[in-house]
């Protein structure tokens, strides 16, 4: 048994490995504080996201390492804190106070992109992250409905310019292109107009501090989408697809579009993956199976997970009560939350690799 000192505690903590980065917590500068009082020891471990999928494991491993070092007679408490990382942007300046911007995109409409964007945003907020959401889908802005928000953002003056306060629901701040549209007089958007409006959401909205600002993009890979991804300073993108071939072909185009403009793709989410009949428990692969996973493999991208078809996901959207909020204990809400955690981890890893490489982004795609 070692003496209870800070040095020995650090020695113990240097045996705890972050399996994503393959380095120990001391080397990664994640051990922030060690307090010793008699036979009590308190350690703070700082994660790069509150939605860290390894949170519980790292906590258990830390407690075990300290026990091994000091024996069973001490009182150990390990606090898991977090400070979300961001990538140093060399090009366009990201909005001040906003650490990461993520486009949720799809090759075609109707694959559940908005549903996924909303539930991911709410899940990340539930995990303790500061989250904003921009409904940039000029063809069908549906997020206000899905978040149960009606009304318009407040406009106020600051230093002679008009500013807007985002609306908020389930801990997520929202701006929607729908707030600018008169439903009875649909606008025909051109690329520069759409990107101009979205750009305003970045410059003229008081977002405050955000860990993640998520964009629900217009579906497809045409001019408007390309203009948008060139205009918005993006940390990275997520592609939503359904398992059938037609959707996968379009998802591939989406991925290529982001590659072309040097925006890293954090991964692929398959929606409507399968259906489990509530009466028999039997699984039905309505749109085929394994497509998203195979696509990710073919394109050397990360598969972030698959979300089943569930009428409660659909109802949650229609009623403005996302399933991760309304029914958090259901299996499918847990699946979506864990996809949110996987995404947060990919963002952290990308930021870390980016800092290491300085220029080149190195993806670790083996999980």
Ligand X SMILES: Nc1ncnc2c1ncn2[C@@H]1O[C@H](COP(=O)(O)OP(=O)(O)O)[C@@H](O)[C@H]1O
- Contact residues toward Mg ion (CB under 5 A) are 114, 137, 142
Orientation of helix 331-357 relative to helix 113-126, angle to 10°:
80
- Residue 242: in which H helix or E strand, if any? none
Q: Which of 8, 62, 115, 221 binds ligand X (CB under 6 A)?
A: 115
The answer to whether the beta carbons of residues 34 and 26 sit under 8 Å apart is no
Q: Please report whether residue 243 would count as binding ligand X according to CB under 6 A.
A: no
Tokens of 23: 């380095």
Shortest spacing between CB 49 and ligand X, in angstroms: 24
Binding of ligand X by 109 (CB under 6 A): yes
Considering only CA atoms, which of 79, 94, 89 is closest in space to residue 42? 79
Least separation in angstroms between CB 364 and ligand X: 28
Q: Which of 277, 279, 194, 268 is nearest to 238 (CA)?
A: 268
Q: What string marks each residue from 126 to 165 as x (binds ligand X by CB under 6 A) or -?
A: ----------------x-----------------------
Residue of closest CB approach to ligand X: 112
**Contacts for 103 with CB less than 8 Å, ≥ 6 apart:** 215, 217, 229, 232, 234, 236, 237, 238, 258, 263
Q: Should residue 271 be labelled a site residue for ligand X when binding is judged by CB under 6 A?
A: yes
Q: Which range of residues in 10-18, 292-300, 307-315, 343-351 is near ligand X by CB under 6 A?
A: 307-315
Query: Which one, 144 or 166, has the nearer CB to Mg ion?
Result: 144
Shortest distance in whole angstroms from residue 248 CB to Mg ion: 19
Hey, which residues does 215 pair with through a beta bridge? 103, 134
Q: Is 317 in the site for ligand X (CB under 6 A)?
A: yes
Cβ proximity to ligand X, 108 vs 341, nearer residue: 108
Which three-class secondary structure state does DSSP give residue 114? helix
Window 177-206: residues binding ligand X (CB under 6 A)? none
Which of ligand X, Mg ion, none has residue 254 at its interface (CB below 5 to 8 Å by kind)? none
Is 69 or 250 the residue whose CB approaches ligand X more closely? Answer: 250
> What are the tokens at 355?
């800092």
Q: Quote the least distance from Cβ 278 to ligand X, whole Å.
A: 13
Helix %, strand %, coil % for the chain, to 5? 35, 25, 40
Looking at the Cβ atoms of 30 and 309, the one nearer to ligand X is 309
Give yes or no for residue 69 binding ligand X (CB under 6 A).
Answer: no
For Mg ion, which is the closer residue by CB, 189 or 363? 189
Nearer to Mg ion, 62 or 106 (CB): 106
Which among 245, 323, 313, 248 is positioned nearest to 276, based on CA atoms?
A: 313
> Does residue 225 belong to the site contacting ligand X (CB under 6 A)?
no
Which residue in the set 8, 82, 114, 302 belongs to the binding site for ligand X (CB under 6 A)?
114
Residue 211 found at the interface with ligand X (CB under 6 A) = no
Residue 292 as a binder of ligand X (CB under 6 A): the answer is no
| Euclidean distance between CA atoms 275 and 203, whole angstroms | 42
Q: Does 314 bind ligand X (CB under 6 A)?
A: yes
Give the Cα separation of 332 and 312 in Å (integer): 9
103 neighbors 217 (Cβ within 8 angstroms): yes
Question: Could you say whether residue 217 binds ligand X (CB under 6 A)?
Answer: no
Residues in Cβ contact with 304 at an 8 Å cutoff, skipping those fewer than 6 apart: 238, 266, 267, 268, 269, 339, 342, 343, 346
- Partner touching 51 among ligand X, Mg ion, none, CB below 5 to 8 Å by kind: none
- Cα separation, 349 vs 142, whole angstroms: 31
**Which residues are near ligand X by CB under 6 A?**
106, 109-115, 142, 219, 271-272, 307, 309-310, 313-314, 317
């Amino acid at each position: 048994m070692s003496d209870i000192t800070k040095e020995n505690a650090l020695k113990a903590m240097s045996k705890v490995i972050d399996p994503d980065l393959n380095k120990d917590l001391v080397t990664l500068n994640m051990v922030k504080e060690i307090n010793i009082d008699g036979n009590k020891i308190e350690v703070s471990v700082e994660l790069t996201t509150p939605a860290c999928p390894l949170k519980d494991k790292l906590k258990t491993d830390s407690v075990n390492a300290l026990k091994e070092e000091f024996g069973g007679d001490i009182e150990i408490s390990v606090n898991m804190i977090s400070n979300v990382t961001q990538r140093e942007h060399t090009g366009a300046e990201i909005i001040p106070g906003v650490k990461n911007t993520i486009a949720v995109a799809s090759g075609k409409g109707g694959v559940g992109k908005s549903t996924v964007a909303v539930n991911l945003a709410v899940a990340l907020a539930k995990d303790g992250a500061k989250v904003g959401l921009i409904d940039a889908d000029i063809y069908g802005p549906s997020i206000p409905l899905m978040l149960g928000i009606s009304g318009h953002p407040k406009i106020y003056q600051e230093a002679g310019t008009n500013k807007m306060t985002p609306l908020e629901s389930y801990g997520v701040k929202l701006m929607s292109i729908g707030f600018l549209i008169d439903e009875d007089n649909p606008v025909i958007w051109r690329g520069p107009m759409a990107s101009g409006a979205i750009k305003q959401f970045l410059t003229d909205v008081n977002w405050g501090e955000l860990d993640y600002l998520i964009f629900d993009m217009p579906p497809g890979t045409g001019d408007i989408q390309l203009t948008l991804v060139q205009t918005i300073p993006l940390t990275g993108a997520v592609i939503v697809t359904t398992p059938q071939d037609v959707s996968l072909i379009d998802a591939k185009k989406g991925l290529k579009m982001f590659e072309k403009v040097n925006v890293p793709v954090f991964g692929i989410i398959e929606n409507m993956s399968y259906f489990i009949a509530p009466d028999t428990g039997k699984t039905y692969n309505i749109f085929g199976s394994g497509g998203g996973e195979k696509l990710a493999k073919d394109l050397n991208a990360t598969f972030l997970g698959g979300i089943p078809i569930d009428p409660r996901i659909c109802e949650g959207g229609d009623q403005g009560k996302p399933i991760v909020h309304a029914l958090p204990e259901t299996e499918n809400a847990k699946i979506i939350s864990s996809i949110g955690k996987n995404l947060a981890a990919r963002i952290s890893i990308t930021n870390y690799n980016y800092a290491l490489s300085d220029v080149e982004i190195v993806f670790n795609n083996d999980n």
